[in-house]
Copies of this chain bind each other. A is one copy, B any other.
Amino acid sequence: MRFCDSKLRLLQTAHELIWRQSYGSVGVDQICEQSRVKKGSFYHFFRSKSELTVAAYEFRWDQIRLALDRIFSTQVPPLERLEAYFANIRRNQTEHFLKNGRVLGCPFASLGSELSTQDEAIRLMAQQISERKCRYLETTLRDAMEAEDIPRQDPKLLAQELHFYVVGLVQEAKISNNLAVLDRMESGAYRIIGATRAEVA
């Protein structure tokens, strides 16, 4: 069994198209065409459009994980990890804005927001990825408290609140199709966690 890149191409383009457009507006035919894969092959690898989507987004998450593991390395001072995380989001959104002329927002949040009332598998996937993102933030905040960079408090709850803020901000950047919104990530984030900007700069 040689390495099958038809399947990989399907995963890749499915995520790409659905992120750029939406789940509902992307058809199986469109995914197949752009992947240069015929329908028969599609349904050889996946049982449904929904199943492909879950696989595609989990595949994408595995890639993002690599970047996040580097960004949230415990070798880096905690507040610098946050800075790098924010910078990464901004860089990512900017890249796709230049490519598509649109702020695409967070793919997981957008998909979850569109389908969480309709497709339980997709909802669960979006939820789990959200929780994993929170876990990066949680350990970072715990380390920041340990280093007395920020006031002590429940790190898990604080991480979630920070995550809510970031996710909301990115969504608003998408809706207003305006990258400048992202420049406000730090100011609000530091307010939430109780860090002064001086401690960061």
Whether A161 sits at the interface, judged by CB under 8 Å, is yes
Interface SS of A by simple majority: helix
Residues on the B chain within 8 Å of A132, using CB: none
Q: Which residue from B20, B118, B171 sits with its C-beta under 8 Å from A113? A: B171
Oligomer: number of copies: 2
Contact present for A102 and B114 (CB under 8 Å): no
Whether A123 sits at the interface, judged by CB under 8 Å, is yes
Residues on the B chain within 8 Å of A171, using CB: 109, 112-113, 167-168, 171
Contact present for A187 and B169 (CB under 8 Å): no
A117 CA to B166 CA, complexed, in Å: 20
For the complex formed, measure the closest distance between the CB of A101 and the CB atoms of chain B, giving whole angstroms: 9
Contact present for B21 and A175 (CB under 8 Å): no
The digit string for A150-190, where 1 denotes a CB below 8 A from any CB of B, is 00000001001101111111011011110000001001100
The digit string for A103-117, where 1 denotes a CB below 8 A from any CB of B, is 011000110111111
A-B contact pairs, 16 of them (CB 8 A): A22-B115, A104-B117, A117-B174, A160-B172, A160-B184, A161-B165, A161-B188, A161-B191, A163-B172, A164-B184, A164-B188, A165-B192, A166-B168, A168-B168, A171-B171, A192-B192
